[in-house]
Amino acid sequence: MTQTLHIIGAGLAGSEAAWQAAQAGVPVVLHEMRPKVGTFAHRSGDCAEMVCSNSFRSDDDERNAVGLLHWEMRAAGGLIMQTADRHALPAGGALAVDRDAFSGAVTAALRAHPLISFSEEEVTELPQDGHWIVATGPLTSGNLAESIRTVTGAESLAFFDAIAPIVHAETIDMDIAWRQSRYDKGETEEEQKAYINCPMNREEYEAFIDALLAAEKTEFHEGETAGYFDGCLPIEVMAERGRETLRHGPMKPVGLTNPHDPATKSYAVVQLRRDNALGTLYNIVGFQTKMKYGAQTTVFKMIPGLQNASFARLGGIHRNTFLNSPTLLDDQMRLRQRPNLRFAGQVTGVEGYVESAAMGLLAGRMAAAEIKGQTLPPPSYETAMGALVNHITGGAEAKTFQPMNVNFGLFPPLDAARGGRKGRKDRYKGYTDRAKEQFTAWLAAQA
């Protein structure tokens, strides 16, 4: 038992973890309850089934963080990327696949591997001993989810995430916005300037409310319906309760003075709060929403100071079982209370097919190293994988932690010479050049 790696869930993360560990010479048992126990989203019992889009998004490894993650996974011999490349469809600069052929090929590769065996029984409780990776994703079964909640604490596991949009800090117009905490609260200057504030006059506020109410909204899928709770009502639901509701809620203007125009009192203020330790990402406070993505971009760019905003993530409210990983996982992706358990994939708080598979790749390699009596350090957080694992294991603010796609806002900044909007393409190339060098060195150290 102790020398075998058990993986719960054969989605993208679990499949990649199994492949990496087996390629390292470690026997793997892959536990997948489908098709015996189904979910509302899956159609088959195949591994790595893509239940939403068939796209792995941008394949540009020079100027796109997702494309860089593709590059790193290819360099690490990732099964998911190898299979995606073999079943790619024309998609411009993106990597899209024939989803049925893709999942079928992943399944065939895993079943053919001499060190991988399958168990089709549902795992309902977190195991007390042995080496395990939990990669059950957003559709974790009820019994196992309850076991995770019991072990980690009721406040550490979300079943419906209320996601506020996140903005790249460099795209906020600070000639309009300003830094200030409400009533200048805080003992240090950093605390007193912890928020970025975007002011609205009455006409701007009224136009914003009109656009918010008229915007196209998404609906819950069958099987993920849930009532809202007052702590994270969608902003459009608040607006429906009365046009002044937001102005007396998350957009209240009290305790704030605009240094660009100190004599004029703002009618409403939108606040943004730092979302990562680097200060490169800010979330829009209280702006959970069910608006469709296109509508969000249009409506949120009506906010003064955000007219040129670039979004690292847009908002939403949907079922997505995930841990408050910064409080629970160490940098080996192990549960601190039970270090025999690693977590990987979307359950750790990464968002997206590629990100999930990448966390599976790391978890599989780390678990295999541990079984062989070694310790594999995570890659530098100057790499895409390293930036993601750093984010979920400590780089993010635990109080506001929400699922995140890979993006350059998670990377340490480059030197100032590459700063500014005009130098963005060169700066992104700088990020990817640095990452490739660091990731290559990380792989070489394991050889």
**Cα of 417 vs its chain's centroid, Å:** 29
CA distances from 23 to 119, 133, 296, 336 (A): 19, 16, 43, 27
Rounded Cα–Cα distance for residues 67 and 213 (Å) = 36
Q: Is 11 annotated as a binding residue?
A: yes
Q: Is 12 annotated as a binding residue?
A: yes
CA dihedral 141→5→352→194, nearest 10 degrees, is 90
Q: Are 369 and 375 in contact (CB under 8 A)?
A: yes
Strands (E), 289-353: 311-313, 316-323, 341-343
Q: Is 177 annotated as a binding residue?
A: no
The answer to whether the Cα torsion of 356, 359, 360, 361 is positive or negative is: positive
Rounded Cα–Cα distance for residues 184 and 227 (Å) = 36
Q: Is 9 annotated as a binding residue?
A: yes
Pairing of strands 5-8, 116-119: unpaired
Q: Is 24 annotated as a binding residue?
A: no
Q: Are 113 and 5 in contact (CB under 8 A)?
A: no
Q: What is the C-alpha radius of gyration for the chain, rounded to an integer number of angstroms?
A: 22
Rounded Cα–Cα distance for residues 13 and 3 (Å) = 21
Rounded Cα–Cα distance for residues 278 and 394 (Å) = 12
Q: Are 197 and 256 in contact (CB under 8 A)?
A: yes
Q: What angle do CA 208, 211, 215 make, to 5 degrees?
A: 140
CA distances from 121 to 2, 21, 111, 125 (A): 20, 21, 16, 12
Rounded Cα–Cα distance for residues 60 and 71 (Å) = 9
CB atoms within 10 A of CB 191: 11
Contacts of residue 374, defined as CB under 8 A and 6 or more positions apart, other chains included, come to none
**Cα of 251 vs its chain's centroid, Å:** 26
Point out the annotated binding site. Answer: 9-14
Point out the annotated binding site for FAD. Answer: 9-14
